[in-house]
Amino acid sequence: MATPALALLALGVVYGDIGTSPLYAAKETFDPARGIALSAANVIGGVSTIFWTLMAIVSLKYVVLVLRADNRGEGGIMALLALATAAVGARPKLRARLLIAGVVGASLFYGDAVLTPAISVLSAVEGLAVRTPVFEPWVVPVATAILVALFAIQRFGTGVVGVAFGPVCLAWFVTLGIAGIRQIAAAPAILAALDPRHAIGFVTGHGYASFVVLGSVLLAVTGAEALYADMGHFGRRAIRLTWFGIAAPALVLNYFGQGALLIAHPGAVANPFYLAFPTWALYPMVALATGATVIASQATISGAFSLTRQAVQLGFLPRMTIRHTSARTIGQIYVPAVNWVLLVVVAAAVIGFGSSTRLASAYGIAVMGTMLVTTVLTWFVLRYRWHYPLWLCIASTGVFLVIDSAFFAAALHKVLDGGWFPLALGTIVFVVMMTWRHGRVQLAESLAGGSPPLAGFLDALFRDPPPRVPGTAVFLTASSGMTPNALLHSLKHYKVLHEQNVFLTVAFRTVPWVPAEQRVASESLGHDCWRVEASYGFMQRPDVSEALERCAPSGLSIEPMQVSYFLSREKIVPATRRRGFGRWRDIVFATLARNAGSTADFFNIPANRTVELGTRIEI
With vertex at residue 39, the alpha carbon angle to CA 38 and CA 41, rounded to the nearest 5 degrees, is 125
Torsion-angle region of 385 (φ positive above 0: left; ψ -120 to 50: alpha; else: beta): alpha
Please give, one letter per residue, the 3-state secondary structure of 470-492.
Answer: EEEEEEECCCCCECCHHHHHHHH
Ranges under pLDDT 70 in the chain: 1-3, 131-132, 157-164, 233, 326-332, 447-450, 574-582, 616-619
Q: Helical H runs in 462-562?
A: 485-494, 544-549
**Which long-range contacts (C-beta less than 8 Å, at least 24 apart) are formed by 556-560?**
556/502, 556/522, 556/524, 556/530, 556/532, 558/472, 558/500, 558/502, 559/472
Res 577: pLDDT: 61
Q: Give the pairing type, strands 333-334 and 497-508.
A: unpaired
Rounded to 10 deg, the angle between the 208-217 and 40-53 helix axes is 50
Q: What is the pLDDT of residues 87-101, one digit of tens each?
A: 887 788 888 888 899
Res 79: pLDDT: 82
DSSP letter for 514, please. -
CA 464 to chain centroid: 53
Residue 358 one-letter amino acid: R
Please give, one letter per residue, the 3-state secondary structure of 122-160.
Answer: HHHHHHHHCCCHHHHHHHHHHHHHHHHHHHHHHHHCCHH
Res 576: pLDDT: 63
Q: Where in the chain is the domain with CATH 1.20.1740.10?
A: 3-437
Res 558: pLDDT: 86
Res 473: pLDDT: 94
| Integer angstrom CA distances of residue 423 from 229, 302, 320 | 21, 21, 24
Q: What is the pLDDT of residues 378-403, one digit of tens each?
A: 999 998 888 889 998 898 899 999 99
What is the spatial distance between Cα 288 and Cα 169, in angstroms, rounded to a whole number? 9
What is the CATH topology of the domain spanning 3-437? Amino acid/polyamine transporter I (1.20.1740)
Please give, one letter per residue, the 3-state secondary structure of 301-366.
Answer: HHHHHHHHHHHHHCCCCCCCCCEECCCCCCCCEECHHHHHHHHHHHHHHHHHHCCHHHHHHHHHHH
